[in-house]
Amino acid sequence: MLILKWNWSYSKVAVNLISLTVTLFFSAFSPGSVYCQSAERTEIPSSFNPVGSGARALGMGGAFIAIADDATAASWNPGGLIQLEKPEVSGVGALVKRTEDNTFALAPEASGNGPVLNENLNYMSATYPFVFLDRNMVVSINYQHLYDMNRKWNFTIGGGNSSSTTDYKQSGNLSAMGLAYCVQITPLFSLGGTLNYWGNLLGQNEWKQKYHDVDTDVTLTGKKYRYASDIEEVFKLSGFNANLGFLWSINDKLTVGGVFKTPFTANLKHQITKDYSFDYPNDPALNNSGELSLTDYEKLHMPASYGVGIAYRFSDRLTLASDIYRTEWKNFVLTGSDGTKISPITGESTSSSDISSTNQVRMGGEYLIIRHDYIIPLRAGMFYDPAPAKGKPDDYYGFSAGTGYASGRFVFDVAYQYRFGNLVGESILGNLGFSQNVREHTVYTSIIYYL
């Protein structure tokens, strides 16, 4: 549905209408509108890769595929759920501070920081183990916050009497509700799966992009004007996919795990509203404003991802683990209602985007201080977590540390992660020589209660 409203005086002569048409055309390519030309991009400021949840896993650098022995296993490797022996409920909270230090090589006056502080419910689950047909089985229901879409930028291009200012804010998240099941095939081997629904169950599964652009003292056909616009884009996503995993205890020390997260095509409802105005200080008869509203129905194809992990238990106190994980971002495709296919990463056609797959590497360990009636864990890890980009992936690295307290039916964990990337994001606004240095601080807290 397309609604277009124009407000102007009926007394204007034809030459003014021609001037307005030309102004509208050229304003679409003004510097202040340059960011809006990337509207077909799907920007995920947090890690692009579909990793799992939980403070324990985060504290170990995310090397958790071959461990997966708490309720967050449904997000890492549902084959590990078989290790849960008691019914339990759990919850995970997250606090994220991200700073993007933006550099515009061709417009240095626009450079600056974009800090964001966000808190969210990262994970929630209820798990129940049972025996059926002489086999151990586990079922669980889970909520997982997968992608953080929050970003805030402000920049001005130009100076003096003529400049373009853009205030940009993106907010929202993508999450999934999951129903997981795991069965013990042999005493040493188990299989599991999680069916995920991406939709509006525990909140809105959507993100919003808001732009406020102001161009001052722009001159066209000898007439000076001020242009202002407010644009809001809302993306609502829904769809289904599955996590499939196995856990194999080769012996009492060595464990191998694997997970495959299926690709899926999500429905994407894309709503756009725009208000704008042209003000001519020396010729107010040309002043005009308008409103635009558009709703489109698109398809977003999410790519497959898969990983394998290995864990070695040196003793009852010390465990080390490592994961390798791959995501096929070349299959990340946005299909418009007219059938046009583009890469959401570049905003360009899929044939010219040149997007490669990403390969994560994660390593971590856990040491347990065991006392008579409680346990205190010490955890640490490091990782390489690249993000997809045109030409080659952007390099992100990080490290983490965590601890906790476990006694009786209660387990508390806390973890801190530092993730960073230098000179990344160059394809976002390549025409302005754009790049950014990203610094991200994350704190997770988890609580598990055994029923």
Which phi-psi region, left, alpha or beta, contains residue 284 (left: φ > 0; alpha: ψ -120 to 50)?
alpha
Where exactly are the structural domains of the chain? 2-92+115-365
According to DSSP, residue 108 is labeled G
Give the model's pLDDT for residue 23.
36
**How far lies 255's CA from each of 22, 62, 68, 249, 368, in Å?**
67, 16, 11, 4, 18
Query: Are 451 and 88 in contact, with CB atoms under 8 Å apart?
Result: yes
> DSSP secondary-structure letter at 200?
S
**End-to-end CA, the chain:** 52
pTM score of the predicted model = 0.86
What is the helix (H) or strand (E) element at residue 293, kind and residue range? strand 288-302
Q: Residue type for 192, please? A: G
Q: Report residue 385 CA to chain centroid gap.
A: 13
Q: What is the largest CA-CA distance in the chain?
A: 90
Judge whether 227 and 27 are in contact, CB under 8 Å: yes
Q: Which two structure tokens, joined as six digits, stand for 232?
A: 């809001």
Q: So what's the pLDDT on residue 26?
A: 34
| Domain 2-92+115-365 -> CATH class | mainly beta
Confirm if 346 and 393 have CB atoms less than 8 A apart.
Answer: no
Per-residue tens of pLDDT for the chain, all 451 residues: 222 333 333 333 333 333 333 333 333 333 344 444 444 556 676 667 777 899 999 999 999 999 999 889 999 999 999 999 999 999 999 999 999 999 988 888 888 888 899 899 999 999 999 999 999 999 999 999 988 888 888 888 876 667 888 899 999 989 999 999 999 999 999 999 999 999 887 777 899 999 999 988 777 677 888 899 999 999 999 999 999 999 999 999 999 999 999 999 999 999 999 999 999 888 888 889 999 999 999 999 999 999 999 999 999 999 999 999 999 999 999 999 899 999 988 888 888 888 999 999 999 999 999 998 999 999 999 999 999 998 899 999 999 999 999 999 999 999 999 999 999 988 777 677 889 999 999 999 999 999 9
pLDDT at 45: 67
Q: What is the C-alpha separation between 379 and 212, in angstroms, rounded?
A: 44
Model confidence over 331-374: pLDDT tens digits?
999 999 899 999 988 888 888 888 999 999 999 999 999 998 99
Measured CA to CA, the distance from residue 291 to residue 115 in angstroms comes to 31
- Residue where the block lists tokens 């009852």: 316
7 CB contacts (<8 Å, ≥6 apart)? 288, 289, 290
Name every residue whose Cβ is closer than 8 Å to that of residue 382 and which is 6 or more positions away in sequence. 61, 362, 363, 364, 397, 398, 399, 400
Question: From CA 55, how far away is CA 416, in angstroms rounded?
Answer: 8
Enclosing H/E stretch for 196: strand 189-198
Residue 112 confidence (pLDDT): 87
